[in-house]
Amino acid sequence: MTPKEPTWDVKSQFKTPEESPGYLLAQLTLLWQRKLKKVLDPLDLTHTQFVLLASIGWLSAKNDDTTQIDIADFNNFDRMMVSKVLRTLETKKLISRQEHKTDTRAKTIKLTSNGKKAMQLGITAVEKADVEFFETLGTKLPSFNTSMVKLIEANKNDD
C-alpha cells in the first residue's frame, strides 16, 4: 500500500508549505536568528541590540548627528521599539544620548568606547555566522541578496 498524500480542507493556492514563500521565509528567518543568538549571547546582545549598534556605527560615520528617527528609518523599525532598545543600550553604557545641535526635540545617539568594542565583536561574529549560514548558496548569494533588496524596496512603505 502506498502512502497517501495528506489533504486538508483549506482553500490555498499552495499545495504544500514548501510552495509558500511566506512559510519558507519564516522558517529561514527562525533558523538564521537561532544561529545569530548563539554568537550574540556571549556578547550579552540581542539581535536587535546588535543591529542598532551596527546601524549607529554606520550612520555616525556618514553623519555626526545621528538621531533615533534616523536609526529607525534606516532599519525599517518601529520608532517606539527603537527608543526602548536604545534605553537598554544606554543602561549597558554602549551608547550615549546628547542634545541635538539644531532640533531641540531630538537627541544625537553616539557609541561609547564600550559600544564600539561590542559593535566590532558583534560584526565579526555575525559576519562569520552569515558566511556559514548562507554558504550553501555559493555563487547564487549575490542574486539572492539582489532579490531580498528588491523585496525590501517594494514593501518597506506598506504601512
Quote the domain boundaries for residue 73.
Answer: 38-146
pLDDT at 155 over 80: yes
Number of independent structural domains in the chain: 1
CATH number of the domain to which 48 belongs = 1.10.10.10
Rounded distance, CA 42 to CA 122, Å?
10
Q: How far is CA 117 from CA 38, 42, 52, 92, 120, in A?
A: 19, 14, 14, 13, 5
**What integer is the mean pLDDT of 125-147?**
97
**What integer is the mean pLDDT of 58-69?**
91
Considering the domain boundaries, does residue 14 fall inside one? no
